[in-house]
Structure 1
Amino acid sequence: MSILEQICADKRVEVAARKEIQTLGDLQARLPAIEKRPDFVKALRATPMGLIAEVKRRSPSAGLIRDPFDPAAIAQGYEANGASAVSCLMDHKYFGGGDDDFCAVRGAVGIPMLYKEFVVDSWQIAHAKTMGASAVLLIVGALTDKELVSFIAEIKALELQPLVEVHDREEMLRAIDAGTDCIGINNRNLKTFVTTLDTTFELAVMAPAGCTLVSESGIKTPEDVVELKLAGAHAILVGESLLREPAPGEAAAHLLSLI
């Protein structure tokens, strides 16, 4: 079993337990009162290179990334230094994230937020809306074609943006066939955790006209950002390289300094 398969198996168990406490019906009953959040794609497209700056404690590949960890302060630093959006990890077992971090960030910044999760159930999509997300991550490698199409429709029905993540040519074709208009190319293979920007360089040429393209993971220098822009990326998602710096917000500004 790959790392991704193990995480998704654990996620199904976690979500089943959460549904016993708060049902999908409970979440749906709250939806009419939820304030609409800022548009995710519009924010990414408003600058020469959109930056989705990530808030996370740890990861399976990197271990503990930042300690002490203040999600609200980190997010405020990102917003003050030009980030277009904030990605917040929802998984606790593998990434140390969860509802508390998301709520702390949501209360601290006004820019759009990405619900960064291993989505395997409609419950999570409704939960994202109630939490104040603007976008929801869908990982093609974790879903069947039927699930992918269904989840994209459910996310859009809630006036949220699906960010559909791929990491190879087959997944890129599946994302395109599903009709997505916002694709994240993950430079980290979630089955092996090997990372290379060549993944974006290879797959960007396949993106449909009008699609918003996000390059994710392994982005460390302003020169990387320039190369990704030339390759066709409209935005980048960066976490670890910012979070390891003393001032993540200032590191975010530096990353965009050549654009």
Structure 2
Amino acid sequence: MTILDKIIVDKKREVELKKQLISFSQLENSAVFGSRTYSLSKNLRNNAIGIIAEHKRRSPSKSVINNSYSVEEVVIGYQNAGVSGISVLTDGKYFGGSLDDLLLAKASVNVPLLRKEFIIDEYQILEAKAHGADVILLIAAVLTREEIKQLSEFAHSLGLEVLLEVHNREELEKSIMPSLDMIGVNNRNLKTFEVSLEYSKQLAQHIPDEFVKVSESGISSSEAIKELQPFGYQGFLIGEHFMKTENPGKASAEFINTILVKS
């Protein structure tokens, strides 16, 4: 059983328990459920750099990354740096995140927020909407084509955008459908944890142009951005590179300035 398999087993149990505590109607009646949403796909298309910066406390492979800064400090720093969007990890057991992190981010910034989560149920999409998300992540590796269709269409019905994450061509080909907004290629092999930009390069030509192309993981330099842009990538999700520094907001500003200077 891979770490991803373990996460999904735990996630199914977690969702069923949460359903017993907070009803669908309670989520729909939350204070921010009807609040304005921001388009990440539009931001990425209209920004020459397209950085999606991530708030991540820890990960299964790296243990603690950064517990020094509050969510508010990190996301405000990211917004001031000029990022196109912010990814917020909400998984607790493996990544140290929570839905409260998402809610605090919503109260702090006006940029599109991605709920970074292992979504397997419509209930989690309602949670995302009820806690201020603008975008949800769907992971092709853990969902069937029918599940991707059902979940992405439900997200759209709530006014949320959908970023689909793939790792190989098989996952991509089973997943392409109109109810997606962005397709992200994860450069990390989930079996070996090896990271290579070649995954993004190899899949780029197979992603239809109507979807915004996003490259995820392993992006730690302006050179990597320049290397991927000719392949049509407009979004670059960067997590640990900023979070492992003493000041994630400052690190993201310096990173973006470096790209602008070299442009």
The TM tier, using the shorter chain, reads: over 0.9
CA distance in 2, matches of 1:152, 1:137: 9
Secondary structure of 1:207's aligned partner: coil
Matched with 2:82 is 82
How much has 1:255 moved relative to structure 2? 2.6
Matched with 1:247 is 247
CA distance in 1, matches of 2:157, 2:97: 26
Which amino acid in 1 is paired with 2:15?
A: V
Aligned ranges for residues 89-168 of structure 1 at < 5 Å? 89-168=89-168
Q: Give a deviation string over 1:27-77, Cα, whole Å, max 9, x none.
A: 235599611211121122221121110001000111110132311101111
Matched with 2:48 is 48
CA distance in 1, matches of 2:141, 2:150: 15
Q: Give the 3 Å change call, closer, same or farther, for CA 154–31 of structure 1 in structure 2.
A: farther
Which amino acid in 2 is paired with 1:21?
A: L
Q: Give a deviation string over 1:236-257, Cα, whole Å, max 9, x none.
A: 0001011112222232233332
- Identity, % of aligned positions: 38
Which amino acid in 2 is paired with 1:140?
A: A
Q: Give a deviation string over 1:215-259, Cα, whole Å, max 9, x none.
A: 000101110111111221111000101111222223223333224
Contact preservation (8 Å) 2:156, 2:179: no
Secondary structure of 2:17's aligned partner: helix
Q: Give a deviation string over 1:90-136, Cα, whole Å, max 9, x none.
A: 10000000022112211111111001100011100011111111100
Unpaired runs of 5+ residues, structure 2, are: none
Contact preservation (8 Å) 1:145, 1:178: no
Runs of 4+ in structure 1 deviating by more than 6 angstroms, as ranges, are: none
Q: Give the 3 Å change call, closer, same or farther, for CA 218–33 of structure 1 in structure 2.
A: closer
Matched with 2:12 is 12
**Matched residues, number:** 259
CA distance in 1, matches of 2:206, 2:45: 19
CA distance in 1, matches of 2:97, 2:149: 27
Q: Give the 3 Å change call, closer, same or farther, for CA 157–31 of structure 1 in structure 2.
A: farther
CA distance in 1, matches of 2:187, 2:195: 5
TM superposition score normalised by structure 1: 0.95
Contact preservation (8 Å) 1:44, 1:234: yes
Secondary structure of 1:237's aligned partner: strand
CA distance in 2, matches of 1:192, 1:3: 11
Secondary structure of 1:138's aligned partner: strand
CA distance in 1, matches of 2:35, 2:29: 14
Matched with 1:37 is 37
How much has 1:178 moved relative to structure 2? 6.6
Unpaired runs of 5+ residues, structure 1, are: none
Contact preservation (8 Å) 2:125, 2:136: yes
Contact preservation (8 Å) 2:33, 2:129: no
Q: Give the 3 Å change call, closer, same or farther, for CA 155–197 of structure 1 in structure 2.
A: same
Q: Give a deviation string over 1:6-45, Cα, whole Å, max 9, x none.
A: 1011001111111000122332355996112111211222
CA distance in 1, matches of 2:57, 2:195: 19
Which amino acid in 2 is paired with 1:121?
A: D
Q: Report the more deviating stretch, 105-114 or 40-49.
A: 40-49
